[in-house]
């Protein structure tokens, strides 16, 4: 980052961001058979619909004048999407996507993290027979194909932005990474995998590894920890593993109850979402989130997420960026 110089000025950056979002959304819909829907910015507190991420993040909340109820700004739409598929009557192997905006007040800001989050949130109905690793991998390949197609469009419009992604994405589990790199931290393992493959889907996140620790935290009530993962790219600008998506086949009744028990969160079975899932009222699904600013940052060869989104930054982050020639929006 010492020698960083943005390849695009701010005017071209804004146009390029628009192109990334337009092209990728179109390719994603085409590859996964998705339709765009509107989504909530906030949900009722205590509804069980808000995603609690790693279980410690505090949602932004406010009281509603007319009802006296407390609303929470969403962290993500993992649970809401599944209920929406049922409510809107989506057919088998069709799904939805939406532009999800969130505020994560407890995020520690740096090159990759902001208190403002923007994602393409998507969810698709599947059969019980689709709840396999093979189906998960095929879906990942479809998403990665959309990333490659978008990268080619960006390079065509801005030749200075050469695409250095491999043609195919690789797959590795957190257990395999632990076996291969037992003395490294999870993030160091991700670096080695990303550097080796260029693009990799790191599978099976949420459960405990052989050493008793987790590779990373996952809420127990949306992804099946045996059928999920992160799409991680090697970021050449920053020399780091760069996550653009967290996704997975969602919990069914058995995996939900098992994971709630493992995390001592069995009290959640009182919530409407969980009751519907346990009773079989909700469809089986696969889904995830793909960072809009993250993907823009990667494809436009930016060194800081603040170059592709507007947010509020700590003074130390502002000074650091200024020292390295990074222009925050």
Q: How far apart, in whole angstroms, are the C-alpha atoms of residue 71 and residue 152?
A: 42
> 28 with 34: CB under 8 angstroms?
yes
Q: For residue 54, is it within any domain? A: yes
Catalytic residue among 118, 190, 243, 252: 243
The pLDDT score that the predictor gives to residue 179 is 93
Specify if 112 maps to a domain.
yes
Q: Which residue has the tokens 């987790």?
A: 214
CA angle centred on 108, ends 104 and 114, rounded to 5° = 55
As a whole number, mean pLDDT of residues 119-144 equals: 97
Higher pLDDT, 30 or 51: 30
Could you say which of 118, 153, 224, 230 is catalytic? 230
Q: What is the pTM of this model?
A: 0.90
Does 121 fall in a domain?
yes
Q: What is the mean pLDDT of residues 301-321?
A: 92
Q: Which residue has the tokens 């599944």?
A: 82
Would residue 243 show up in a list of annotated catalytic residues for this protein?
yes
Kindly state whether residue 1 falls inside one of the protein's structural domains. Answer: no
When pLDDT is cut at 50, 70 and 90, the band that residue 56 belongs to is low
Percent of the chain predicted with pLDDT > 70: 97
Catalytic residue (one of 6, 51, 218, 224)? 51
51 carries an active-site annotation:
yes
Active site residue 246: yes
Active site residue 230: yes
Q: Is residue 67 part of a domain?
A: yes
CATH code for the domain in which residue 26 is found: 3.30.930.10
Which residue segment(s) compose the domain that 309 sits in? 10-323
How many angstroms separate the CA atoms of 48 and 158, rounded?
Answer: 44
Q: Using an 8 Å Cβ cutoff, are 161 and 137 in contact?
A: no
Does any domain span residue 328? no
Q: Say how many C-beta atoms besides its own lie within 10 A of residue 268's C-beta.
A: 17
CA geometry: angle at 124 spanning 90 and 115, to 5°? 120
pLDDT digits (tens, 9 = 90+) for 160-205: 999 999 999 999 999 999 999 999 999 999 999 999 999 999 999 9
Inform me whether the pLDDT recorded for 48 exceeds 60: yes
Handedness of CA 148, 154, 155, 160 (dihedral sign): negative
Catalytic residue list contains 155 = no
In a domain, 5, yes or no: no
Neighbours of 215 (CB within 10 A): 25
Tell me whether residue 4 is in a domain: no
Marked catalytic residue, from 82, 104, 131, 189: 104
Catalytic residue among 6, 76, 119, 255: 119
**Among 6, 114, 246, 292, the one annotated catalytic:** 246
pLDDT (0 to 100) of residue 197: 97
pLDDT band at 232 (very low <50, low <70, confident <90, very high): very high
> What is the number of structural domains in the chain?
1
């Amino acid at each position: 980052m010492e020698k960083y110089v943005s390849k695009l000025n701010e005017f071209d950056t804004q146009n390029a961001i628009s192109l990334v979002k337009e092209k990728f959304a179109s390719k994603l819909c085409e590859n996964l058979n998705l339709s765009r829907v509107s989504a909530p910015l906030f949900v009722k507190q205590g509804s069980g619909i808000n995603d609690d991420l790693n279980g410690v993040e505090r949602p932004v909340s406010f009281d509603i004048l007319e009802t006296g109820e407390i609303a929470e700004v969403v962290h993500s739409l993992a649970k809401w999407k599944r209920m929406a598929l049922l409510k809107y009557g989506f057919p088998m192997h069709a799904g939805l996507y939406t532009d999800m905006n969130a505020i994560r007040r407890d995020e520690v800001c740096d090159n990759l993290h902001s208190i403002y989050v923007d994602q393409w949130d998507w969810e698709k109905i599947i059969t019980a027979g689709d709840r396999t690793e093979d189906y998960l991998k095929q879906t990942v390949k479809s998403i990665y194909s959309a990333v490659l197609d978008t990268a080619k469009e960006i390079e065509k419009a801005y030749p200075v932005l050469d695409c250095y992604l491999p043609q195919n994405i690789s797959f590795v589990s957190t257990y395999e990474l632990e076996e291969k790199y037992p003395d490294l931290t999870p993030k160091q393992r991700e670096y080695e995998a990303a550097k080796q493959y260029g693009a990799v889907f790191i599978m099976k996140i949420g459960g405990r590894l052989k050493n008793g620790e987790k590779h990373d935290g996952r809420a127990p009530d949306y992804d099946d920890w045996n059928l999920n993962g992160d799409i991680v790219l090697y970021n050449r600008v920053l020399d780091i593993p760069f996550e653009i998506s967290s996704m997975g086949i969602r919990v069914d009744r058995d995996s939900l109850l098992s994971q709630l028990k493992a995390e001592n969160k069995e009290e959640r079975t009182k919530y409407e979402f969980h009751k519907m899932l346990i009773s079989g009222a909700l469809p089986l699904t696969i889904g995830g989130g793909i960072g809009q600013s993250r993907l823009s940052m990667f494809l436009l060869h930016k060194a800081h997420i603040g170059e592709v989104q507007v947010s509020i930054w700590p003074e130390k982050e502002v000074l650091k960026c200024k020292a390295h020639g990074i222009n925050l929006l």
